[in-house]
Amino acid sequence: MKIGAIIVAAGRGERAGGGIPKQFRKLAGRSVLARSYQALAAHPALTAIVLVTHPHDTARLDAVDEELGLVTRRVVGGATRSDSVRAGLAALSDAGVDAVMIHDAARPFLSHALIDRLADALATHSAVIPVMPVTDALMRLDASGEILEAVDRETLGAAQTPQAFHLDTICQAHDQAAGQAFADDAAVIRAAGGTVFSVPGESGNYKLTRPEDFQRAEAELMSTAITVTGQGFDVHRLEPADTMWLCGVALHEGLGLVGHSDADAGLHAVTDAVLGCAGAGDIGQHFPPSDPQWRGAASDKFLLHALDLLAKAGGEAVHVDVTLICERPKVGQYRAAMQARLAELMELPMARVNIKATTTEKLGFTGRGEGLAAQAIVTARMT
């Protein structure tokens, strides 16, 4: 059985706070939507994924594509969740799938084991959803908050996503329900007279709804994160010039650095350190000096590319320390500007960016004023 997936990501998620739709908020450096997408895409049973989106979110979705390193398949959703799912089903009609899993973007922690249970259940059932047992005592209240009666929790369960269906079953049910709004797709099946079965859900597959849910998720991710370090080193020869680029700042001291790009030794060292954290080789592999397209290129492009690779590897830079080694030029007056520019590029607070300068006491090529060296250490958190 070929199975596709629909991720419902058109909502506004205002209760979660954060100022943007919750599916685009970052958790340990990666967006909620990217995490949900990757959780599904990594499972071999799923052959096609469609994102159901809001028309105002194009730029945010492009950023998610950058995170994922691919072009997602998207369709614009409707006024209700049911309308959005119908749009997703229509988009899957040419994907050659027999079944579909419909998932909320705000549940980024689903496991392979849960997908396995749903896929196995589809062999014998046309509609199946994950359900968690209710453990709290339940009470029925009136409008004032007064308790009217206790509710038997043994017969109740909390529905989760993804919810899995044979494609023809869910499409027919949604056709019958056109114009109506339902809380989830299990309700659509039941309204059409169908039967829905359950498999055990997972406590970790919770929905991010309120600010405290994001706090919980961030804490859980941080508890399993590891810290890695990468180091970088770069050297360039000095020559007379009007401008030198160093740590992303233009210096006008009558000197420049010789190189294929703008020869910013500081940013090159930081770029190599970031690539080291990502386990992604070195700057020469990604931007070879033999390639004419990088002639005179601004080195911030190299650093941003390295940071993107680090993010795709599940990492986030948290600190950078740079040492500039030279007799000339004197960089002290530029230190604050360098710190600010590097903080901007790496999206770090100024307190986590350190720029130092030293000499070799007149020894070697830097001591003779023939060149400039830079070394950098970057610390990153991997989740």
Mean pLDDT, rounded, of the chain: 93
pLDDT value of position 289? 82
CATH class of 3-133+159-223: alpha beta
The residue ranges of every structural domain in the chain are 3-133+159-223, 226-382
pLDDT beyond 70 at 18:
no
Strands 138-141 and 147-151: antiparallel
Is the model more confident about 220 or about 4? 4
Reported as a pLDDT band with limits 50, 70 and 90, residue 37 is very high
How many Cβ atoms from other residues are within 10 Å of residue 361's Cβ? 9
Tokens 């033999």 label which residue? 290
Reported as a pLDDT band with limits 50, 70 and 90, residue 181 is confident
pLDDT value of position 13? 65
Lowest-confidence segment of 16-30, 45-59, 97-111, 237-251 by average pLDDT: 16-30
CATH class of 226-382: alpha beta
Rounded mean pLDDT, 358-378: 95
Is the model more confident about 247 or about 67? 247
pLDDT beyond 90 at 221:
no
pTM of the model: 0.71
pLDDT beyond 70 at 59:
yes
pLDDT value of position 307? 94
pLDDT value of position 11? 82
Reported as a pLDDT band with limits 50, 70 and 90, residue 154 is confident
Assign 3-class secondary structure to the chain: CCEEEEEEECCCCHHHCCCCCHHHCEECCEEHHHHHHHHHHCCCCEEEEEEEECHHHHHHHHHHHHHHCCCCEEEECCCCHHHHHHHHHHHCCCCCCCEEEEEECCCCCCCHHHHHHHHHHCCCCCEEEEEEECCCCEEEECCCCCEEEEECHHHCEEECCCEEEEHHHHHHHHHHCCCCCCCCHHHHHHHCCCCCEEEECCCCCCCCCCHHHHHHHHHHHHHCCEEEEEEEEEEEEEEECCCEEECCEEECCCEEEECCCCCCHHHHHHHHHHHHHHCCCCHHHHCCCCCHHHCCCCCHHHHHHHHHHHHHCCEEEEEEEEEEECCCCCCHHHHHHHHHHHHHHHCCCHHHEEEEEECCCCCHHHHCCCEEEEEEEEEEEEC
Reported as a pLDDT band with limits 50, 70 and 90, residue 311 is confident
Is the model more confident about 136 or about 164? 164
- Angle at CA 370, nearest 5°, toward 364 and 373? 70
